[in-house]
A and B are shown apart, each in its own frame.
Chain A
Amino acid sequence: MLHILRQIARTGIKTDPAPAADHALAVADRLQADVLKTLGRALTIRHVDAGSCNGCELEIHALGNPYYNIEGLGIRFVASPRHADLLLVTGPVSKHMAIALQRTYDATPDPKLVVAVGDCGCTGGIFGESYASLGRVGNVIPVDVEIPGCPPTPTALLQGILAAITARPPVTASAHER
């Protein structure tokens, strides 16, 4: 126990200041005002790998490390879409994951946000569209924010997630119905 406490004390606090939201990443104004009114900045995220190479997942994991400390910002990853406010989706969406992704989206209570992650999630990336790939996440479910990068850095991920949940001027409430 003493070793553990000593290591904690020796390590100190490593957390970097959080980056600002990057509103340029937003692609839709869907439900923004609703979500903010309901949630403030206490947000729960359900991650869905819809066909990724796992590169994006490594950087999503990094959000939890002491340097980025995403939980310190009030944001938590949850185990079920039924507990989630935001879906963080990596792709390209493989055909084999399309139904699972749609069901996960349907299981997420309204109001909900969707953030597409990585070049593949935003455009289909190097895999594109094929007999096995449906390409970008937006081809399957509505997307609010797109975070490009291969993979996006944890900082870029934070900027995108914060863009989805912080008000940007001018706030519009035009609901983009599916």
Chain B
Amino acid sequence: MDLSRLGLAAAALPSGVPARRCPVDSIGLLTACRVMWEQGGRLVALWACDDRDRDRGYQINVVLQDGDGLTLLEHSLQTSESTYPDLAVVFPAANRMQRAAFDLVGIASEAEDQRPWVWQASWPIDCFPLRRDFEASPNWQPGQEEYPFVRVEGDGVHEIPVGPVHAGTIEPGHFRFQVVGEKVLRLEERLSFVHKGIEKRFEAMDAATGHRLAGRISGDSTVAYAWSYVQALEAIAGTALPPRALWLRALVLERERIANHLGDLGYLGNDGGFAFGLAQFSRLKEHVLRTNSIAFAHRLAMDYVVPGGVARDLAPAAAAAMRDECTMLEREIGTLKHIYDEHEGLQDRFRSCGIVTPALAAKLGLTGLAGRASGQAHDLRCDFGCAPYDALDVRRAAAVAGDVAARVAVRFDEAIESLRLVRAIIDAMPDGDIDVPVAEPPAFRKGLGYVEGWRGPVLVGLECGPEGTIRRCHPHDPSWSNWPVLEHAVIGNIVPDFPLINKSFNLTYSGHDL
């Protein structure tokens, strides 16, 4: 998007992908969002900062993405009474981000919907945790709020509340179904149950150790988050990475993708009434994790990605084991895909279930894996091709049906493609160092990290403080965009299909609730 046409001046922004920053007033903020939307751009993230200690009031940060890269719009508000335009009229996914920004920093949008999103009555409603003068009191007890769910009225309509403690080994959240018979008329999500103060916690850490916390934002995406965090840090500090370190990071990221896709393919079979699929795919996933344990000293490769590189080199024996594993997995996944494809009972559950049409996906901003199953052909590994992906010619998975079957198909395609990438990475891995020292990042500089995790693109917005501290860190999961779309995907489906539809998206709670 050409910002100068709007009379806006942009400056370069440190980032792992092409990025710029642009100060805007409230009209500029809304106009830039509208023009971006008209030209096919998307909302990535929105968050607020308290900059009063630097005489800058409060700041709303909005990250947009188009074919040129990322644009960070920065809008300053002088007092806490100032408001900013409701961006949900352009990008519906902004709704919850704006509500979260208010709960944490106390800056309100002009939206009609001002219900709390992060706040659940466990601290006073007029205290804002991410303000710099916030002090927690030991007297604050866990509370319970009366959340105003939207109710459907009419003959035979009833309500089913589910959660926060769910019936399986999954994360907590609340789902409120309005149903007639077994048909879902409306689903409303209430999240933030696992809000544990991650953004505040970052501010008590050094930039050089923040990757450990980043790697624990969403355990299934530990590599994507850690990489995104260090990418932002290294961009701010001006660190040039040795090529081998980047290739090793890509190796663990692809292995994280394979492990999660295998796990999901098993559970999707299971939720479709086909326990055989779970037994088979969970066996294959375990194989991947055991190889990880040998190669990276951790089954999920936590703390493998570190500032300046990676924690240990890849031993030749581990590389050989991975190559053999790729051959085994390609064969096994091929066999299982054939079994899934020809299993009528399973396909009957998958097809036409939980549909998100490409038009709806575009309108609501569906992103990542689920987006690619609904015709939203975005994948950072292809779109911006940062090293080493620029040398790997990644094939982007794509489907348009937007149903559970399409999200299953995208997982199969991506798992197979990631196996090809793992082999290609091992074969073409450059020699050299696996890490370099990272200089102390300059104070008050912002940077962005942006990495295509298995679920979708993971953004980290980082601002460093004096002496290597973290001034503000906002990690942003693609689930922020996709959770609201799940509410649409289940409309008209039957209640017993909800677990299957939910699993086909497999969104994060912890990564969203922070």
- Contact between A92 and B196, CB atoms less than 8 A apart: yes
Binding site for A on B (CB under 8 A): 120, 122-123, 129, 134, 136, 140, 142, 144, 164-165, 167-172, 192-198, 200-201, 212-213, 216-220, 222, 263, 276, 278-280, 282-283, 285-286, 289, 299-300, 302, 335-336, 338-339, 342, 508-510, 513
User: Complex: how many Å from CA A161 to CA B168?
Assistant: 18
A99 adjacent to chain B (CB < 8 Å): yes
Q: Which chain A residues in 96-128 approach chain B with CB under 8 Å?
A: 96-100, 104, 125-128
- Contact between B201 and A52, CB atoms less than 8 A apart: no
- Contact between B216 and A53, CB atoms less than 8 A apart: yes
Q: Give which listed residue, A94, A126, A130, contacts B200 with CB less than 8 A.
A: A130
- Contact between B219 and A100, CB atoms less than 8 A apart: no
- Contact between B302 and A127, CB atoms less than 8 A apart: no
Q: Chain B nearest CB: distance from A116 CB in Å?
A: 16
Which residues from chain B contact A150 at a C-beta distance below 8 Å?
216, 302
- Contact between A130 and B216, CB atoms less than 8 A apart: no
Q: Give which listed residue, B195, B218, B285, contacts A132 with CB less than 8 A.
A: B195
User: Complex: how many Å from CA A92 to CA B197?
Assistant: 11
A38 adjacent to chain B (CB < 8 Å): no
Please classify the interface of chain A as helix (H, G, I), strand (E, B), loop, or mixed, using the class held by over half of its residues: mixed
Q: Chain A nearest CB: distance from B275 CB in Å?
A: 10
- Contact between A97 and B219, CB atoms less than 8 A apart: no
Q: Chain B nearest CB: distance from A132 CB in Å?
A: 4
Which residues from chain B contact A130 at a C-beta distance below 8 Å?
136, 196-197, 200-201
16 A–B contacts, CB within 8 A, in A order: A11-B283, A14-B283, A47-B168, A49-B169, A52-B171, A52-B194, A52-B219, A57-B171, A60-B169, A61-B282, A95-B195, A127-B198, A127-B201, A131-B122, A131-B129, A132-B123
Q: Give which listed residue, B172, B212, B279, contacts A100 with CB less than 8 A.
A: B172
A148 adjacent to chain B (CB < 8 Å): no
Q: How many residues of A contact B (CB 8 A)?
A: 51
Task: Determine the residue in chain B with the shortest Cβ distance to A6.
Answer: B335
**Which of A18-26, A27-35, A63-71, A169-177 contacts the other chain?**
A63-71
Q: Give which listed residue, A51, A80, A134, A153, contacts B299 with CB less than 8 A.
A: A153
Given contacts A67-B283, A95-B140, A150-B302, 15 further A-B contacts (CB under 8 A): A3-B342, A49-B169, A52-B171, A53-B510, A59-B299, A65-B283, A65-B286, A66-B279, A77-B169, A79-B168, A96-B142, A100-B165, A127-B196, A130-B201, A151-B219
Which residues from chain B contact A4 at a C-beta distance below 8 Å?
276, 339
Which residues from chain A contact B222 at a C-beta distance below 8 Å?
55
Per-residue CB contact flags for chain A residues 48-92 toward chain B (1 = under 8 Å, else 0) read 111111111111111011110000000001011100000000001
